[in-house]
Structure 1
């Protein structure tokens, strides 16, 4: 728990520092911070994959361990790239620190899902995130 608190404090401090030093509209400025958060994001995506697909069945969870890890890597990379490309880095980082999915995160998630489905990035923007979750059988995020 101490490491988690230190990580949150460090992330919060870096966000505040970047706010103080950087012009708000510059893309790629927060990419290094996003890259620092990638391992935690990848782990959360892996856990979500296992929980969603295995449904609590231990033997199924064991067999899905590797496929979920293989999916989590590209998915986390996509989320970071789309966060950076959309110019919503600061908003997404703020939402991650707050532990919620807000407007900025929702835009990025939809862009990434579209990209992974080989659709134009803006294709899913009008679709509510809840509909996407239901379509893919995913649990609602804890917010």
Structure 2
């Protein structure tokens, strides 16, 4: 499978989504939940790769200066890889499922194309966190997702 650049993925996604957007706007219909799910599912491998990368970076940051003492960089990275992959699959499935259930597919797709986490993606992430952790969604509404992402990256 060829390695796609983010620009290529954006172009292809835009190409795929344009006829759907034209159809929706010309018919004056509102997008029903689940309409864009097949398109979002095409992005699942990319979402999983991004989740694995983020997980790996978070693990390396968490270990900080002791990482070199524990194991050489290559061994540590490979030791973290498998748990990150196992975590990425259910998280990506949850993100896709909650995107569809929330009816925010178009907004999330737009935000993905822009490469940012906006209001629609924040709602989906909060719903997914609630689903995966068993916490009530109302508890997560108090935490701004963008702030949480920035804290995890530090």
With the shorter chain as reference, the TM-score category is 0.7 to 0.9
How far the C-alpha of 1:6 sits from its partner, in A, is: 3.2
5+ residue gaps in structure 2? Answer: 68-72
**Within-5 A mapping of 1:1-143:** 3-4=4-5, 5-22=7-24, 23-55=29-61, 57=67, 58=73, 59-133=75-149, 138-139=152-153
Highest RCO, 1 vs 2 (Cα 8 Å, sep ≥ 6): 2
Question: For the Cα contact (< 8 Å) 2:117–2:146, is it kept in 1?
Answer: no
With normalisation by structure 2, the TM-score equals: 0.80
Work out the CA distance in 2 between the residues paired with 1:121 and 1:128.
Answer: 13
Task: Please give the per-residue CA displacement for 1:47-86, whole angstroms capped at 9, x wherever unaligned.
Answer: 0000001237423222111000000000000000011010
Which shows bigger deviation, 57-66 or 92-101?
A: 57-66
Q: Structure 1 residues 33 and 122, CA, compared in 2 at 3 Å: closer, same or farther?
A: farther
Quote how far apart the aligned CAs of 1:17 are.
1.6
Secondary structure at 1:3 match in 2: coil
TM-score (ref. length: structure 1):
0.85
Give distance in 2, aligned partners of 1:9 and 1:63.
35
The structure where helix makes up a greater share of residues is 2
Instruction: Name which of structure 1's ranges 6-15 and 51-60 shifts more when overlaid on structure 2.
Output: 51-60
CA contact (8 A) 1:8 1:97 kept: yes
Per-residue deviation, 1:123: 3.5
Gaps of 5+ in 1: none
User: 1:15/1:138 Cα in 2 relative to 1: closer, same or farther (>3 Å)?
Assistant: same
